[in-house]
A and B are shown apart, each in its own frame.
Chain A
């Protein structure tokens, strides 16, 4: 983010946000949506990717805060505020390392993936710089990563148990059958369910005939190894605010975002009418 530092200059008005996440926030989930039509269509990212970050966000943030307060305890008194950048770097490192130690197996993977995904949404500058040129050069862009993850989730909801799509099979060869976002989402909801609700496991593992097919049915599974394939952009791009986020949405993640969403992780997507073929037919 092109943020004016705390060193005294007035905040000048910028024509464009410093981060791609903010750019996307203006152009992606806002404005006139025309998905009801035949010839005018949408290409690109499914809206649900945006939602996925909220699922991840709350848990990640809570865990980080728990760590941060503990760390404060050790350092308080001698550590004066005023070195935000440096302090944050330390915080992140410590929080991440400790969390890793505490979360075993699949959950460790998910934690990393969550950070990666969140990093994709916020670590834009780095990602963009890394992509030195259109199509060429190094890593993939933020949008490309979101798209891959989204299409995987969409495929999953669209055809829960058939393997018909060549795309998906090809992808499976690369990354395992489940994309990082899907794994994160499912496991995040599993975590929330397990630790916040008194419902027995069986209830969550109910078959997928209801309105919430994939998410809850899969919630009991551990995260697939595919979670390791989290797009590389996220990992290295933790900026000042760190590898976590939460959808405060005007109040707080504690306000229930995580809970509400996790209660019905997949209830909405099937109804969103993701077009099977998003290109006009005359192509």
Chain B
């Protein structure tokens, strides 16, 4: 018995692009399951469906295809249901009011993400130039005990983080006139800046130009990844839509 994999909640009248490739093997046809003013975007998968890497990418691609024709509330990847009725009863109907409100709020808006990597060696050089004592202490790091090295590394990290903050501000400042809302996303290292911007879909071209200008302004030594349009995953007040929410993602 096939299952339905759920991608997102959209308006019931959402003009979904045709021929979307769903998850699973073979990929199922992507269709809408409507209930009142909203609908879930689903495709059939085998009942033993286990998501794999390709499926993650396909799920992502379905979301980004959908967002080109209207507002989208993404559903967490890996959500499955046995049949249409279950989706209506458990997924759509309980959130219908909030979903309608959220979809209205997001109408005409999309998210873009900007990741900027700065050359680590360059940053380290600047840090050491500013705090020469770090260089001095690093002399003893080789072969020193773990505590010493962790402590030293942490201070280097803090210095890099300070610079990162300045860089973050600069990036945000450059795009602010075009941005409805912005979020700074967690990064893997203080040599990386990650921003999510909520922008008007019809101003994407202008934003492209602004990003290009920012890139030029930053100059060499920076690498940039610029992705969009995405569903506004970083701006949706998901708490209201979640059936249950534990206190804090990072509260441990």
Residues of A within 8 A of B (CB): 1-6, 10-18, 20, 22-45, 47, 51, 54, 57-59, 61-70, 72-73, 76, 81-82, 84, 87-88, 91, 98, 102-103, 107, 118, 122, 124, 127-128, 131, 134-135, 141-144, 147, 191, 195-196, 240-242, 244-255, 257, 260-261, 264-269, 271-273, 279-280, 282-283
| Nearest B residue to A264, CB-CB | B252
Q: Report the Cα distance A139→B89, complex, angstroms.
A: 40
Closest 8 interchain pairs by CB? A62-B153, A36-B243, A252-B161, A44-B78, A31-B74, A66-B153, A268-B252, A141-B53
Within 8 A of A (CB), among B118-160: 119-122, 124-125, 127-128, 134-135, 138-139, 141-143, 146-147, 149-158, 160
Asked whether, in the complex, the Cβ of B76 is within 8 Å of the Cβ of A33, the reply is yes
Contacts of A68 in B (CB 8 A): 120-121, 124, 156
Asked whether, in the complex, the Cβ of A195 is within 8 Å of the Cβ of B120, the reply is no
Contacts of B157 in A (CB 8 A): 61-62, 65, 246, 252-254
Q: Which of A15, A118, A248, A260 contacts B64 (CB 8 A)?
A: A15
> What is the predominant secondary structure among interface residues of chain B facing chain A?
mixed
Q: Which of B9, B47, B74, B80 contacts A40 (CB 8 A)?
A: B80
Residues of B within 8 A of A (CB): 1, 6, 8-9, 25, 47, 49-57, 59-61, 63-64, 73-82, 86-87, 89-91, 95, 112-113, 115, 117, 119-122, 124-125, 127-128, 134-135, 138-139, 141-143, 146-147, 149-158, 160-161, 164-165, 184-192, 204, 208, 211-212, 215-216, 220-228, 230-231, 233-234, 236, 238, 241-246, 249-252
Asked whether, in the complex, the Cβ of A23 is within 8 Å of the Cβ of B226, the reply is no
Asked whether, in the complex, the Cβ of B135 is within 8 Å of the Cβ of A63, the reply is no
Q: Report the Cα distance A4→B185, complex, angstroms.
A: 20
Asked whether, in the complex, the Cβ of B56 is within 8 Å of the Cβ of A20, the reply is yes
Nearest chain A CB to B22 CB, angstrom units: 13
Asked whether, in the complex, the Cβ of A43 is within 8 Å of the Cβ of B227, the reply is no
| Nearest A residue to B136, CB-CB | A73
| Residue from B150, B164, B226 with most neighbouring chain A CB atoms (10 Å) | B150
Nearest chain A CB to B148 CB, angstrom units: 8
Nearest chain B CB to A196 CB, angstrom units: 8
Q: Which of A16, A31, A69, A241 contacts B117 (CB 8 A)?
A: A241
Q: Known contacts being A40-B81, A72-B125, is A26 close to B53, with CB within 8 Å?
A: no
Q: Report the Cα distance A25→B185, complex, angstroms.
A: 10
Contacts of B113 in A (CB 8 A): 17, 22
Asked whether, in the complex, the Cβ of A33 is within 8 Å of the Cβ of B243, the reply is yes
Contacts of A102 in B (CB 8 A): 143, 146, 149
Known pairs A4-B224, A61-B189, A264-B252 / 9 extra A-B pairs, C-beta < 8 Å:
A15-B228, A26-B230, A31-B75, A62-B154, A65-B157, A66-B156, A82-B221, A118-B188, A195-B146
